[in-house]
Structures are given as structure tokens and as C-alpha cells.
């Protein structure tokens, strides 16, 4: 092979990481030629390109997608002896499925096969007559369906395979000509693996695979066996980042109905934030290869006659680089090609990713087999000490509490988690799963998906457009509010400014990358966000990762956009240095970076709580934020965040109200009275309240130990001095160690002589 090489001699980079970021590789072989297609960013647009990668091949990259459009999801396949490529071209509102064929070394003009609000999950399956069935997912609002078509037939009509909530199709052709299609679908509030078999009479009824655990099934893949048999492999995402990998053999009964041969078998399990699973058939059409993530490494297993072989580590071992989105291809001579996306691990590294291909002979692949390689667990993905579910009061108790104070009674009390990642960055779960988990599992009122801008690698314009579309279509006033959001992750590039979650007011957000000059520093980021009316909240402000600092640099502040700070997440409570909680991981913290340190600088920051989940547990781990919104809409939630009418909890839905006269939490007023200010507070705990404290400028100014569930009282605290500003917030501690923090109220003393 030619081209730049990685330390392992058989690994070749097929993209130029010093000039571009690339990913999503797909392999295909035509005769003795091996090709790889991939997605790459050029001139601020994602493009799809292809090149040869077999030994001795000249590196000639061919751009397949049309200039000026965002392209994504490339797939290569061979149909009737011709190499084909298919991909999507998209924006935040529409996507086209296009295909092109290669004749005499030249690619044809792309032909549109389908158009929908969203198109994803392309997969190609060879058919009995040398043709190919192309599978994909189409989206219409929050609904999705799986479709199939023969791209080689100019006037072929696409056939819908599954409707409503079907995602991520995979296919396999059995030796008897049966086409098996596997996908994951949302069924009765839970993602399950589903298959359909197509014979001479068309597709039979859907068959839902048995699943012994309660996790959400994701990305089932099919591998052909003997006769009409097929082996289906999938993984489930369970609580605490627990992954279970399952295998089920299926066949057809005399009546043509799908039947299961025994129960599902567990073939791997562990805790991780990465999983991706893909299957490709062997050259003879029976059995094949499974390629998937185990942590940051790429593993490969052979499937033969329904038997799964031991794992081989086919990415470069050692270090903490990110390897993901793998594809595999086996040649007639047993040579295996593995392509995957590679990016640096944590640290001050350039954040581009490159596509690499590794070529392995049968002996080299055998040498990489390591039956013990999947026993390792990444300690960073361990959940907090105490796992929890939704902790909330009965609706009747909530309604009774809400009517107790006219100052808050006219507002909606909404619960949200506005900090979490999914598989687009370093986490588990697809986008549809993320939003469905928010409503079905956590019963949230509002949510934000805050994928990293540059970790593990740069978010691309096409990925951002897809993210924007999902947030737009899942936003349903009165049911589930979704915020357009992004996590600015500067410390993973060059500078330790800290992480900041960005929230946009509408469905037209710009992509702000900390690797770009326009937003590479907090000052430049703040300036850009001001133009959009966006908000920017630091999180884990004192966290020390060890490799790099994840703490906020409080020298940089903007009172217009940086209006709140995350006081609690799965990582630690950050109210002050040294505080701990059983509902978080209690990571190491720097001094001088806490929430109180920022307040002492005079910053007016309200409080949010969030999960920072990487495992589909937003609203179920870490913290929550409660918002007092005038409307149950995105505008209402955004306005509450901007005005600080919010409070944070450790995850329990504790009811809390604090005001000073007409001034609500998050607001500022002038104190011109001779007496100490009196605060009205009301709390309804989810467990007996152990202690309530009114904090003034970092000190306890008033406290109460009620030992009951409800408190409604007044509290006084020293007034601010003339011309000075003091902050006041309420802290609630329950007997079960759950806590709540109101956002501060700021009072400025009238100048001397004005009283």
C-alpha cells in the first residue's frame, strides 16, 4: 500500500489529516481492486469521495458529491460487475439519496433515488441475480421508515420495508435467495431488534427478536448462514453504560414465517461509551465478519456457520486515540481490509480525524486475536455511586404546592436536562434514541443535545445540519421542548478555557468550532453568540481531568451570554471547592474555579444542573434544572434560562421557590430599606428535609432544620452595604443526600444618604 503510514506497518492513511477532517469509510472490491469511500470536509462543506487502496494502487481521489451541497453517509457496492456509490446530500430541512456508477474509470452523473426530510443509514446487500438492494432510513418529522430499491434499474420503485419508528437497516442474502433485513424499532416505548424476510412473494411479517434485558436494542446486523438461515447480531444500551452484545439465529418455517432457533445468546458485555456494529459477508456469501468498537479500539470477529470466533484487535493498540465507524472487507484469498476513522485522544492535539485502512493477511489477523481483550473496562465511564430513576412527587402534591405563592403560580414549572452527548461525539445512543429517552425514560419537559464541537474530532457541517434537524422536529410545545445546542470544548484543542454549553434561541444556529479563528477564544465566542442572541453556560467549572484541565478560566466572562453556570453534574458538585455527593463521581477539582469563586468576582450567574450523560441517561444521572417559564415552549424555556428563573437539583425533583418581595430568583434589585431584607421561601422535598440554608456571599446567613417534607417561611439576611452588591441563594439538603440550589437573587445597597 502507498501513502502515509501509521506506526503499524499495515495501516495506511487515505486522507490528509493535516488539511482536512474525514470519516465514515465504506469498502468495496471489484476484481483485484479495493476502493474506499469516505466523507471529508473541504471549503466548509462535507463531500463524499472515493479512492483505491489496494497494494500498488495510485492514490487518485474522486469527488462524487455535487459541489456546494453537504454530503454524508457514503456506501460503496458492486452490482452486476459495476462499482456503485450512494450517499446523501442534505441541509437542515431536506435530504436527497443519490447514486453513481463507475464505468471505464469514470463516475457517472449522480442520479437521485429518493428525497425526504431526512435520509440516513445506507446499507447495500447483494441479490441473487448479481443486482444489489440498497437499504436506507427516511425521516418525516419524528417518524422514520426503512426503504429498499434496486439502484441499477433506472425506473425501479422504492419499497417500504418498515414504517413509523424503524431505523438503521442491515441486510443479508441467504444461499436460497431469501433477503433478510434487520433494523431497530421503537416498540411500546422500547427499542427492539426486528427482522423481515423477503422471498418470492415479497416481505413477510416483522419478527421482533427476544431480548432478555431491558436495554435499548441498537444497530442489528444480519449475516447469512445455510439455506434460509440468518444470524442476527445487535447490542443493547443498559443503565450505567452497560453494553450487552446479542446473537440470534433465525430461519423460515414451512409456512414461510420467521422462527427463532433457540434463544438469544450473549457474546460480549462490558461498560463503554462506544459500540458501533457492522457486518460484511464472506466472499462465498456464507458467514462473514463483524467489526465493532470496544472502547476506543476496533475489534473484529469471524462468523462461520453461526459460530462467533474470538476477537482480534485490528486498530493500533496502546494510547487513548479514538478509532470508530469501522468497515471490513474480506477477499477471496482470506485477506481482510479494515477501514476506520482515527482521531487523537484527550489532550492538546489537532482535532481533525483521518480515514485509515489496514490490510491483514490471514496469518496477521490470527496474530491479533486476543480472547482477553474485552475484559478491560474504562474507569471514566463508571456511573456515580448511586444509580437512580425518576424521583418526583405525585401530580396532586405538585399542583397543591404550585398554588401557594402568586409570584410563581402563574409560571410553568418545567424539568430539564440540557447537557448530554450521543454517538455523534464520545457517547452512546443515536439521535432519535436521545430524544425518545428524554420523554419516555426520564419524563423530561425540555432537553438539549450538547455534542462536543471538536471531540473526539471536529463536528462537520453535515453532522451539524443533521443535529439541527433532529432538535427541530422533536420540539413539541406542551410535550417536549428541545433546544438547539452545542458544547464548546476548547481544552481538547490548544487552550484550557474550559467547556461551555451553547444554547440558541431558534432553528438557525451557526456552528461555532473552537478550532476556528472566529471562535477559538472565549472573547471571540462571546462576540459571535451576542449576534445570535445565544446563551453560553460553563459546566464542571473546577474539574481536573489530569490529562488536560476541564476547568473554566474565570478571567473570561460576558454578562450578556454567560448568564448561568452548571453547579452539579455526574462529575461533581461545584458549588465550592471540596464538596462531594453520593450522586456524582466526585472528580478532582482545582481551587479558585468553583461557582462561589465566580460569584465572588461579581459575576451574576444563575444555577443549572445537568447530567453530562454519555450513555442515554439524561434526566436519570447527574443533575437536573428546573425552569419557571411563562410558556411551555422553546421561547418560554429559553427566556427562563436567560432571566435566571431556574434552579438546580442533584436529580430529585424537589420543589423550590425563593423571592425577596417581588424579586424572583435570578433577578437583581436595589435595596433601599433600613431593615435587613426578608426572603420568602417554600420547599417541598421528595424526602424529609434535613436542612435549609440561605447563603449570602458564600456564608450561611440563615438556616433551618425542619425534618419534614414541607417548609413555607420567611428568612432574613444581612443587607448589602451602601453601593455594594450581595448575592443570596437557597440550598436544600434532604435526608437521602439529594440537594437543590436556587439561583441567586442580587441586591445592591442604595448609596449612603439615600435611605
Per residue in 467-489, pLDDT (tens digit) is: 999 999 999 999 999 999 999 99
The one-character DSSP state at 460 is: P
Contact at 8 Å (CB) between 335 and 362?
yes
Per residue in 713-730, pLDDT (tens digit) is: 999 999 999 999 999 999
Considering the domain boundaries, does residue 74 fall inside one? no
Contact at 8 Å (CB) between 648 and 607?
yes
Per residue in 441-475, pLDDT (tens digit) is: 999 999 999 999 999 999 999 999 999 999 999 99
- Please report the pLDDT score of residue 755 as a whole number: 55
Average pLDDT over residues 218-236: 92
Average pLDDT over residues 376-382: 79
- Among candidate residues 383, 396, 433, 438, the one with its CA nearest the CA of residue 415: 438
Domain encompassing residue 659? 654-755
Between CA 400 and CA 556 the distance in angstroms is 43
State percent of the chain over pLDDT 70. Answer: 97
Residue 36 CA: distances (Å) to CA of 59, 111, 204: 11, 20, 34
- Please report the pLDDT score of residue 9 as a whole number: 52
Element of type H or E holding 167: strand 166-173
Considering the domain boundaries, does residue 579 fall inside one? no
CB within 8 A of 395, min separation 6: which ones? none
Considering the domain boundaries, does residue 660 fall inside one? yes
- Please report the pLDDT score of residue 57 as a whole number: 64
Between CA 751 and CA 373 the distance in angstroms is 69
With 60 as the cut, is the pLDDT of residue 3 above it? no
Between CA 374 and CA 206 the distance in angstroms is 33
Considering the domain boundaries, does residue 440 fall inside one? no
Considering the domain boundaries, does residue 712 fall inside one? yes
- Among candidate residues 125, 159, 165, the one with its CA nearest the CA of residue 145: 165
- Please report the pLDDT score of residue 6 as a whole number: 45
Contact at 8 Å (CB) between 602 and 725?
yes
Give one word for 188, left, alpha or beta, with left for phi > 0 and alpha for psi -120 to 50. left
Considering the domain boundaries, does residue 632 fall inside one? no
Considering the domain boundaries, does residue 208 fall inside one? no
Contact at 8 Å (CB) between 271 and 378?
yes
Ranges 485-494, 530-539, 658-667: which has the least confidence = 485-494
Contact at 8 Å (CB) between 250 and 229?
yes
Between CA 312 and CA 302 the distance in angstroms is 9
Considering the domain boundaries, does residue 611 fall inside one? no
What confidence category does residue 56 fall into, taking pLDDT thresholds of 50, 70 and 90? low
Between CA 405 and CA 657 the distance in angstroms is 9
Between CA 499 and CA 293 the distance in angstroms is 26
Please state the φ and ψ torsions of residue 635, each to the nearest 5 degrees: -60, -40
Between CA 589 and CA 544 the distance in angstroms is 5
For the chain, give the mean pLDDT.
93
Per residue in 315-341, pLDDT (tens digit) is: 987 777 999 999 999 998 999 999 999
Contact at 8 Å (CB) between 136 and 87?
no
- Please report the pLDDT score of residue 547 as a whole number: 76
The one-character DSSP state at 549 is: B
Number of domains in the chain: 1
Q: What torsion do the CA atoms of 610, 416, 619, 691 make, to the nearest 10 degrees? A: 70
In the block, cell 424521583 appears at 391
- Please report the pLDDT score of residue 211 as a whole number: 92
Identify the CATH number of the domain in which residue 697 sits. 2.60.40.10
Cell of 362: 490471514
Contact at 8 Å (CB) between 325 and 23?
yes
Q: What is the DSSP string of 317-333?
A: PSS--EEEEEEEEE-TT
The one-character DSSP state at 316 is: P
Residue 253 CA: distances (Å) to CA of 221, 286, 350: 21, 20, 55
- Please report the pLDDT score of residue 550 as a whole number: 87
Element of type H or E holding 48: strand 45-52
- Please report the pLDDT score of residue 11 as a whole number: 84
Cell of 680: 420568602
Contact at 8 Å (CB) between 426 and 455?
yes
Cell of 499: 467547556
Between CA 311 and CA 247 the distance in angstroms is 15
Average pLDDT over residues 737-751: 96
Per residue in 110-143, pLDDT (tens digit) is: 999 999 999 999 999 876 566 789 999 999 999 9
CB within 8 A of 47, min separation 6: which ones? 39, 40, 41, 63, 64, 65, 67, 71
What confidence category does residue 1 fall into, taking pLDDT thresholds of 50, 70 and 90? very low
- Please report the pLDDT score of residue 60 as a whole number: 81
In the block, cell 463483524 appears at 290
In the block, cell 489530569 appears at 546
- Please report the pLDDT score of residue 2 as a whole number: 38
Amino acid at each position: 500500500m502507498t501513502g502515509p503510514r501509521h506506526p503499524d506497518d499495515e495501516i495506511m492513511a487515505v486522507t490528509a489529516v493535516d488539511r482536512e477532517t474525514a470519516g465514515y469509510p465504506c469498502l468495496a472490491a471489484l476484481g483485484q481492486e479495493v476502493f474506499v469511500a469516505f466523507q471529508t470536509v473541504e471549503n466548509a462543506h462535507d463531500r463524499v469521495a472515493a479512492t483505491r487502496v489496494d497494494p500498488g494502487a495510485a492514490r487518485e481521489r474522486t469527488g462524487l458529491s455535487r459541489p456546494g451541497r453537504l454530503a454524508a453517509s457514503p456506501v460503496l457496492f458492486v452490482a452486476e460487475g459495476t462499482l456503485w456509490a450512494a450517499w446523501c446530500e442534505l441541509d437542515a430541512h431536506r435530504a436527497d439519496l443519490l447514486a453513481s456508477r463507475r464505468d471505464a474509470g469514470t463516475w457517472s452523473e449522480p442520479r437521485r433515488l429518493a428525497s425526504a426530510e431526512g435520509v440516513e443509514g445506507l446499507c447495500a446487500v447483494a441479490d441473487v441475480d448479481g443486482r444489489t438492494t440498497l437499504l436506507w432510513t427516511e425521516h418525516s418529522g419524528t417518524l422514520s421508515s426503512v426503504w429498499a430499491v434496486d439502484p441499477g434499474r433506472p425506473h425501479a420503485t422504492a419499497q417500504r420495508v418498515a414504517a413509523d419508528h424503524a431505523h438503521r437497516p442491515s441486510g443479508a442474502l441467504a444461499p436460497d435467495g431469501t433477503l433478510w433485513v434487520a433494523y431497530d424499532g421503537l416498540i411500546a416505548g422500547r427499542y427492539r431488534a426486528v427482522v423481515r424476510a423477503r422471498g418470492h412473494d415479497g416481505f413477510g411479517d416483522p419478527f421482533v427478536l427476544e431480548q432478555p434485558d431491558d436495554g435499548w436494542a441498537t444497530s442489528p446486523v444480519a449475516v447469512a448462514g445455510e439455506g434460509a438461515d440468518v444470524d442476527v447480531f445487535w447490542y443493547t444500551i443498559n443503565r450505567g453504560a452497560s453494553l450487552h452484545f446479542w446473537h440470534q439465529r433465525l430461519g423460515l418455517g414451512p409456512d414461510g414465517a420467521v422462527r427463532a432457533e433457540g434463544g438469544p445468546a450473549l457474546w460480549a458485555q462490558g461498560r463503554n461509551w462506544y459500540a458501533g456494529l457492522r457486518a460484511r459477508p464472506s466472499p462465498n456469501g456464507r458467514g462473514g465478519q463483524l467489526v465493532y468498537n470496544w472502547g476506543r479500539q476496533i475489534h473484529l470477529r469471524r462468523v462461520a456457520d453461526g459460530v462467533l470466533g474470538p476477537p482480534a484487535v485490528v486498530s493500533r493498540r496502546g494510547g487513548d486515540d479514538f478509532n470508530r465507524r469501522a468497515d471490513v472487507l474480506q477477499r477471496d484469498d482470506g485477506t481482510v481490509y479494515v477501514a476506520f476513522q482515527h482521531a487523537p485522544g484527550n489532550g492538546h492535539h489537532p482535532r481533525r480525524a483521518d480515514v485509515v485502512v489496514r490490510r491483514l493477511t490471514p496469518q496477521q489477523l490470527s496474530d491479533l486475536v486476543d480472547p482477553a481483550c474485552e475484559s478491560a473496562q474504562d474507569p471514566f465511564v463508571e456511573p456515580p455511586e448511586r444509580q437512580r430513576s425518576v424521583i418526583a412527587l405525585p401530580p396532586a402534591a405538585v399542583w397543591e404546592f404550585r398554588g401557594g405563592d402568586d409570584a410563581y403560580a402563574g409560571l410553568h414549572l418545567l424539568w430539564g436536562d440540557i447537557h448530554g452527548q450521543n454517538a455523534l461525539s464520545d457517547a452512546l445512543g443515536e439521535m432519535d434514541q436521545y430524544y425518545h429517552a428524554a420523554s419516555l425514560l426520564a419524563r423530561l419537559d425540555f432537553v438539549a443535545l450538547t455534542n462536543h464541537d471538536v471531540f473526539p474530532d471536529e463536528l462537520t457541517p453535515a453532522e451539524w445540519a443533521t443535529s439541527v434537524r433532529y432538535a427541530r422536529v422533536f420540539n413539541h410545545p406542551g410535550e417536549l421542548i428541545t433546544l438547539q445546542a452545542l458544547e464548546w470544548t476548547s481544552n481538547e484543542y490548544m487552550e484550557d478555557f474550559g467547556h461551555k454549553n451553547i444554547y440558541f434561541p431558534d432553528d438557525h444556529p451557526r456552528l461555532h468550532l473552537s478550532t476556528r479563528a472566529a471562535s477559538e477564544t472565549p472573547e471571540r465566542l462571546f462576540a459571535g453568540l451576542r449576534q445570535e442572541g445565544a446563551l453560553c453556560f460553563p459546566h464542571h467549572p473546577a474539574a481536573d481531568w489530569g490529562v488536560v484541565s476541564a476547568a473554566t478560566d474565570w478571567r473570561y466572562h460576558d454578562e450578556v451570554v454567560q448568564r448561568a453556570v452548571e453547579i452539579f453534574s455526574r462529575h461533581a458538585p461545584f458549588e465550592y471547592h471540596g464538596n462531594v455527593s453520593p450522586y456524582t463521581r466526585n472528580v478532582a477539582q482545582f481551587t479558585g474555579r468553583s461557582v462561589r469563586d465566580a460569584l465572588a468576582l461579581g459575576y451574576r450567574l444563575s444555577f443549572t444542573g445537568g447530567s453530562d450523560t454519555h450513555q442515554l441517561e439524561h434526566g436519570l444521572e447527574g443533575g437536573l434544572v428546573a425552569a419557571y417559564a411563562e410558556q411551555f415552549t422553546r421561547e418560554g424555556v429559553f427566556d427562563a434560562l436567560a432571566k435566571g428563573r431556574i434552579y438546580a437539583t442533584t436529580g430529585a425533583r424537589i420543589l423550590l421557590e425563593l423571592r425577596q418581595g417581588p424579586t424572583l430568583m435570578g433577578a437583581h434589585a436595589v435595596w433601599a430599606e433600613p431593615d435587613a431584607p426578608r426572603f420568602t421561601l417554600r420547599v417541598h422535598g421528595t424526602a424529609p428535609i434535613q436542612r435549609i440554608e440561605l447563603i449570602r456571599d458564600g456564608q450561611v446567613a440563615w438556616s433551618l432544620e425542619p425534618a419534614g417534607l414541607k417548609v413555607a417561611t420567611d428568612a432574613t439576611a444581612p443587607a448589602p452595604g451602601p453601593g455594594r452588591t450581595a448575592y443570596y441563594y437557597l440550598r436544600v439538603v434532604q435526608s437521602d443526600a439529594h440537594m437543590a440550589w436556587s439561583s441567586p437573587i442580587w441586591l445592591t445597597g442604595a448609596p449612603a444618604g439615600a435611605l
